[in-house]
Chain A
Amino acid sequence: MSLTVGDRLNKAEEAVQARVKRHNSLTSGHRACQGCGEALAARCALDAAYNATGGKIVVVNATGCLEVFTTPYPDNAWGVPWLHSLFGNAPAVATGAAAAFAARGDHEMRVIAQGGDGGTTDIGMGCLSGMFERNDDVLYICYNNEAYMNTGVQRSSSTPALSRTATTFPIKQYMGNDPMSGKCVPKIAMAHGIPYVATATIGDIRDFERKVVKAIHMRGARYIEVYSPCPLGWGSQPCDTVRLARLVVRCGLYPLFEAENGKISSVTKIENLIPVEDYLRPQKRFAHLFGKNADPEHIKVIQKIADANIEEYNLTGGC
């Protein structure tokens, strides 16, 4: 008995990712780095959606790593109809696709838009908000790796407190990314009152797939943000990608929840709470918090963020 992705003792309940006949919406030969969380997350999401709809999905992709490593001409790694337009317009392009299929009378087709955190929370925010407020029939999936990785690890509005990036510097009195900065796009999505918002990680594929399947069967604007570690940008070991995705949840820094029509409808409780330090330590982007000259107060700043999440979402308490 285990919490693994597959289960030979209970084949019927296996995650789509564990099955022999998974679609492989993103196939081999793509050029993602070793241990890429985003490549893994994208395949999980689209395979789950593909499986749930009998293959009736089309995908719109914002510019970014995911687009670049999957479609350098002539090597297309996708196994689903896929369109890339620009960095900041994926939600709008998806809106157009959804409108087109509706106009064609194809009401079974589901449109998925996807992008990284830069394309979603920063440059794509206007189009995303428009797509949300019109309640366009699009499932938007944000693969959150917490910085602009494709351009070389610059800060985004999703970069966590005190993280080092190519544009946030732990130098002199600066601690890395300003802990007072950043935004919570799932909450912004909720504020639009859209039918479904969820956070997920690749550390729990069953949960992620469940949320994708739930979302894909709904109509209107849906938003899923999936935490997808980036070994290159974070200075973590490629083999630790999934482990970090588990640790971030267990320390409280990444609350897993679902919200329907603007209200939180479920929260994943933390079973074995760990200090943020256990999550931060394996990542070089936080190395300045642990060096010889590190100020222990800095880790406390991050712990406070986790503690606030734990309190806000009641992550450790009863239902």
Chain B
Amino acid sequence: MLHQIEGAQAIAHAVAMCRPKVVCAYPITPQTHIVEKLGEMVHAGEVENCAFINVESEMAALSVAIGSQASGVRSYTATSSQGLLYMMEAVYNASGMQLPIVMTLGNRTIGAPLNIWNDHSDAMSARDAGWLMLFAETNQEALDLHIQAFKIAETVGCPVMVCVDGFILTHAYEGVDLPTQDAVDEFLPPYNPDVRLDISNPCAMGMMVSPEYFTEVKYLAHLRQQNALKIIDQTAKQFAQKFGRESGGLVRYYGDPNADTVIVAMGSVIGTVKDVIDELNAAGGKFAILTIVSYRPLPVEEIRAALSNAKRVIVLEKAFALGRGGVLAQEVELALMPFSGEFLSVIAGIGGRPITRTLLRQFFTQETYPEKTTFLGLNHKVVDIMSRME
């Protein structure tokens, strides 16, 4: 049944149906509405035996979740932007300790300059932190990915970060289909880990590991992430079977199956891109889009399979590494090597700049591309004014 609700609320409902026992809340825009709603639901008795803890910082938020998850209960928190950076030490720690925490990242850029609007800079700052990272395209997918995320995390033994574009998804009202609690319960079994803080098996968690064992530890963690590719794929299939809709998975291909130009992107921008290529293909173009749902682990084989026949690959992303260029672009380019076609990187929508169909259409249909990396919609007049002020 469809409900016309805000994205943040949809996520809150999804999380609540996963029956977490500990929810940690610390305010930062734009994720705040999620924990506000969850708090309301916990206090209304809609989430059984769940502690809703107002903590004093993001560092504490994830740390509390580490403590509760290690004590054997399903734990959840959400953050954005600076908050993610503030808790970054714990982000690495949660994955290093293989604790299957689920966290929503309401994507927002990172200051300075201070800016509360959407891009993927925050997510990119955590790309090597050892978490599985899934990007939602729509509010429905955001909802669905959270249900899948708990299952994936607990199957793999690794925390999952569900990335949801700030404002564009979190604050947007859309019709979403809320599954029934029974269906979620059937899909997601209770959390009962073998290893936890337990007096009947008093082990130590979080040992110090010296050089003679460290490489092996990291190698095993890497294998586990690689193995997660199968589990993410499998979980999406099980989800489709159970709930009757496609959501999540590793990558999704849309458009002309024999496209000359394939655009690669993550998150909510996909919808806009789809509209543009639908228009272009209707006019005889040969365009397609490859949506990357699973950014970590990166499904290299699937990406290569989807893109190897394209004449031109355009990676459209909301983040970049200063002095180098697009982050996702580098990873896709590396995945494609050797690639005979044209490879382009587009930095778009950073700090909340709208990505319009017009801008995209203009860019996709350019005759030639003088720069390998393009800042979409860059206002040269502003650049000139600012550079003169230097």
Chain A residues packing against B (C-beta within 8 Å): 55-58, 60-61, 67-68, 70-74, 76, 78-86, 88-89, 92-105, 109, 126-127, 129-130, 133-134
Q: Encode B197-210 as 1/0 by CB contact (under 8 A) with A.
A: 11101111111111
Interface window among B67-75, B109-117, B118-126: B67-75
Q: Is the CB–CB distance between B51 and A85 below 8 Å?
A: no
Q: Is the CB–CB distance between A85 and B206 below 8 Å?
A: yes
Inter-chain contacts of B210 with A (CB < 8 A): 72-73
Q: Is the CB–CB distance between A93 and B207 below 8 Å?
A: no
Q: How many residues of B contact A (CB 8 A)?
A: 44
Could you list 13 A-B pairs, sorted by A, with CB under 8 Å?
A71-B208, A81-B202, A83-B70, A86-B93, A88-B59, A89-B60, A92-B55, A99-B51, A99-B68, A103-B50, A127-B63, A130-B56, A133-B56
B213: interface (CB < 8 Å) = yes
CB distance from B218 to the nearest CB of A (A): 13
Contact A58-B204, Cβ < 8 Å, known A103-B21, A103-B49: no
Inter-chain contacts of A102 with B (CB < 8 A): 51
Q: Is the CB–CB distance between A100 and B90 below 8 Å?
A: no
Q: What 20 additional pairs, Cβ within 8 angstroms, besides A73-B210, A100-B67, A104-B49?
A: A58-B71, A72-B208, A74-B207, A74-B213, A79-B202, A81-B202, A84-B204, A85-B66, A85-B67, A86-B63, A86-B90, A92-B67, A93-B63, A97-B71, A99-B51, A100-B22, A103-B49, A127-B59, A130-B56, A134-B53
Q: Whose C-beta in chain A lies nearest to the C-beta of B202? A: A81
Interface centre among A56, A58, A89, A129 (most CB of B within 10 A): A89
Inter-chain contacts of A127 with B (CB < 8 A): 56-57, 59-60, 63
Contact A71-B204, Cβ < 8 Å, known A81-B198, A99-B53: yes
Q: Whose C-beta in chain A lies nearest to the C-beta of B60? A: A92
CB distance from A211 to the nearest CB of B (A): 23
Count CB-based A-B contacts (< 8 Å): 167
CB distance from B24 to the nearest CB of A (A): 8
A70, B208: Cα distance in complex, Å = 9
B54: interface (CB < 8 Å) = yes
Inter-chain contacts of B202 with A (CB < 8 A): 78-82
Contact A68-B208, Cβ < 8 Å, known A95-B53, A99-B22, A134-B54: yes
Q: Is the CB–CB distance between A55 and B197 below 8 Å?
A: no
CB distance from A81 to the nearest CB of B (A): 4
In the A-B complex, list the 10 residue pairs whose CB atoms are closest, starting with the nearest.
A96-B67, A130-B56, A100-B71, A92-B63, A84-B206, A93-B67, A89-B63, A96-B68, A103-B21, A96-B64
Q: Is the CB–CB distance between A97 and B68 below 8 Å?
A: yes
Q: Whose C-beta in chain A lies nearest to the C-beta of B205? A: A83
Inter-chain contacts of B360 with A (CB < 8 A): none
Inter-chain contacts of B67 with A (CB < 8 A): 60, 83, 85, 92-100
Chain B residues packing against A (C-beta within 8 Å): 21-22, 24, 49-51, 53-57, 59-61, 63-73, 75, 89-90, 93, 97, 197-199, 201-210, 213
CB distance from B97 to the nearest CB of A (A): 7
Q: Is the CB–CB distance between B72 and A104 below 8 Å?
A: yes
A229, B213: Cα distance in complex, Å = 32
Q: Whose C-beta in chain B lies nearest to the C-beta of A113? A: B67
Contact A103-B22, Cβ < 8 Å, known A71-B206, A73-B207, A76-B207: yes
CB distance from B206 to the nearest CB of A (A): 4
A288, B293: Cα distance in complex, Å = 64
Inter-chain contacts of B57 with A (CB < 8 A): 126-127, 130
Inter-chain contacts of B198 with A (CB < 8 A): 81
Q: Whose C-beta in chain B lies nearest to the C-beta of A96? A: B67
Inter-chain contacts of A78 with B (CB < 8 A): 202, 204
A86 CB contact (under 8 Å) in B54, B64, B89, B208: B89
Contact A55-B199, Cβ < 8 Å, known A126-B60, A130-B57: yes
A89, B213: Cα distance in complex, Å = 25
Inter-chain contacts of A82 with B (CB < 8 A): 197, 202-205
Q: Is the CB–CB distance between B66 and A96 below 8 Å?
A: yes
Inter-chain contacts of A73 with B (CB < 8 A): 207-210, 213
Interface centre among B22, B69, B89 (most CB of A within 10 A): B22
Inter-chain contacts of B201 with A (CB < 8 A): 81
Q: Is the CB–CB distance between B51 and A103 below 8 Å?
A: yes
Q: Whose C-beta in chain A lies nearest to the C-beta of B51? A: A99
Q: Whose C-beta in chain A lies nearest to the C-beta of B50? A: A103
Q: Is the CB–CB distance between B90 and A89 below 8 Å?
A: yes
Q: Is the CB–CB distance between A81 and B199 below 8 Å?
A: yes
